[in-house]
Chain A
Amino acid sequence: MTTLMDKSRSAVVAALNEFGSLFSLGLDVVVNMFRRPFQAREFIQQFWFIASVSILPAAFVAIPFGAVITLQLGSLTSQIGAESFNGAASVLAVIQQASPIVTTLIIAGAGGSAICADLGSRTIREEIDAMKVLGVSPVQRLVVPRVLAAMLAGVLLNGMVSVVGVAGGYFFNVIMQDGTPGAFLASFSALAQLPDLWVSELKALIFGFLAGLVAAYRGLNPKGGPKGVGDVVNQSVVITFLLLFFVNFVISVIYLQIVPAKGA
């Protein structure tokens, strides 16, 4: 009985420890973002890498995502006789929720896992230690450019995914469900408003930060040898996804509280 208690207690302590370390790395990253010299070269390389591996998958995921939302909503709205609001609803759902989440899932899955594997293998080969010993902070030199690259890629990709998602919705609504193009476009501004776009971009920014941070954190702390690197890559993607949905929930709730829905 006591061993069970002890075990659960140590598990809780370990979880809190992990969370605390993640948080402290996050603070370090934020502080080091403003410390000169800025690693512009590394930043551009990483940004280009993340963008190039996520742009196509993001687009391909966005099309069916927008389509599914439109199809679902389309059948619902036609039942209650509100087909003309189809466009508004799909634009709200895609821009506010689907797009930032899709973007970050792709960034975490494609870019984050690569960042994590890269840093993880550098750690087990003692390159990170060597860098520290040479008096260079790996957070400033390696982690900050990667996190910033993930953030920028998140914001830009989010814009693209929004457009592609809405276009996908439009296509399926107009072609498959015989919706009217004019009504779809005209209803955009009936329910949606500009702050929806801002919060979408803000989400993408924060999610990009989280994806980069979790990938870097797991990558800098692998357990054991090469197998450990595989494990942390896996964990980093899973942790990012869990965090993502939780943070998305929090931001959405706050947003709905402080920004009144249009027409309400």
Chain B
Amino acid sequence: MGVEVAVEGLSKSFGRQSIWRDVTLTLPPGEVSALLGPSGTGKSVFLKCLIGLLKPERGSVIINGVNLCTCSEREMYEIRKLFGVLFQDGALFGSMNLFDNVAFPLREHTRKSEAEIKRIVFEKLELTGLQGAETKLPGEISGGMRKRAGLARALVLDPEIILCDEPDSGLDPVRTAYLSQLLIDLNAQIDATILIVTHNINLARTVPDNIGMLFRKELIMFGPREVLLTSDEPVVEQFLNGRRFGPIGMSEEKDQATMAAEAAHQEAGHSDGSNEDVRGVVPQIEPTPGMPARDAVRRRRNRVLKILDTLPESAQHGVLASLSAEDLGRYDDWARRAAQGRMNTRHAGPVATIPGVSTLDPDATGRMHAPPPPLPHRGARPGDEHRQRPRPEARP
């Protein structure tokens, strides 16, 4: 299973210019997460801090118990072997052809024979649709091909964490769809933790399990996909719908005057061409038939249901709507008992574990005796818990 990436209180600035402050989030192991945000909010910088290419001023990034912000160079290089990173432009080595580029990590880090290397490289090149191009130099192929070759190279060591910096930029919609499918299939096959940094709304709606958004030097939210997809935050609404009207301007921040002027235009009937509201939970991409089922889906469902009553109401509806009837029945059962447990233990002290959680697990036939304590919903802002919490109907 993939590795958990725990980011705590991370702040980064260049000189006096602060990029973002106090970013706290946890990439759940083996799940696909996406980070959204307008251009220039430091999404790529965040990615580079995650792999230790940039040193943040404050905070920690903990992977496998090692804090990347304070560890030694040697530990860093060890940890990096867990990563597969797709850079914006592919970042291929210009002096090597595609085959050597993809073979590079294998030749550096493994003692595989040349025949075996060839087999693996051709497999990855075929996966990314590059068969026949292996003798080309990076300068001789299109941007989209470079991107796919970069992905092939990132995958060649079977990484446990895959970071993609705008996998869709420079790709046409069809190739983007193929790439989305590829990422989901990969997740199903090797159960890697994946983080995608993107502007592509369609990708953000259909691929990730968890979504976060950076805006105005802060992580404004990070959590299960339903939370962001149903959010009422003006920024999120504007970004998802690609509108001009809202807090995001052409430059990083919009001043009051511009906002008022635009609002007046809108009143007067001026449209910005995007009248459709694309918010709402849409079905996620499934692995290609024939691939193994994604373990991450099951883990995430359990995790999300445990924190369900801390989510905003619209997100709760989104989550519950995506459950099968069977799961829903189990959830109701659990929620009733959990509520009862809370009532009973209210006088006895803090609740340590919620009784009956393991029944949530579809294959919990005695395999999970003691359920792990629920993961805290780390990226949520402190206010989120109380803002929209509905009364649980199940409470007696």
Contact = CB atoms under 8 A, between A and B. Distances in A.
A135 interface: yes
B123 to A, nearest CB: 18
22 contacts: A122-B93, A122-B94, A125-B89, A125-B91, A126-B87, A127-B91, A127-B92, A127-B94, A129-B48, A130-B150, A132-B53, A133-B51, A133-B53, A133-B85, A134-B105, A134-B109, A134-B153, A135-B80, A135-B81, A135-B109, A136-B104, A137-B77
B20 interface: no
A122 B83 CA distance: 21
Contacts of A126: 87-89, 91
B270 to A, nearest CB: 38
Q: Chain B CB within 10 Å — which of A125, A129, A130 has the most?
A: A130
B108 interface: yes
A159 B121 CA distance: 46
A135 B160 CA distance: 14
Contacts of B88: 126
B108 A135 contact: yes
Nearest to A132: B53
B253 interface: no
Contact of A135 (B48, B53, B105): B105
Contact of B83 (A127, A133, A136, A137): A133
B363 interface: no
Interface in B142-157: 150, 153
Interface residues of B, number: 23
B153 to A, nearest CB: 8
B78 interface: yes
Nearest to A129: B53
Contacts of A122: 93-94
Interface of B: 48, 51, 53, 73, 77-78, 80-81, 83, 85, 87-89, 91-94, 104-105, 108-109, 150, 153
Interface of A: 121-122, 125-127, 129-137
Nearest to B79: A135
A122 B87 CA distance: 14
A11 B83 CA distance: 38
Contact of A130 (B77, B78, B87, B108): B87
A130 B53 CA distance: 10
A137 B91 CA distance: 16
Contacts of A125: 89, 91, 94
Given A125-B91, A126-B87, A133-B51, 20 more contacts: A121-B94, A122-B93, A125-B89, A125-B94, A126-B88, A126-B89, A127-B94, A129-B48, A129-B53, A129-B91, A130-B92, A130-B93, A132-B51, A132-B77, A132-B80, A133-B53, A134-B104, A134-B108, A134-B153, A135-B105
A121 B77 CA distance: 23
A130 B91 contact: yes
Contact of A129 (B87, B108, B109): B87
Given A129-B48, A129-B87, A134 B94 contact: no
Nearest to A136: B108
B331 to A, nearest CB: 41
A130 B88 CA distance: 11
A18 B53 CA distance: 19
A135 B157 CA distance: 11
Nearest to B163: A133
Contacts of A121: 94
Contacts of B109: 134-135
Nearest to B87: A126
B192 to A, nearest CB: 15
Contacts of B81: 135
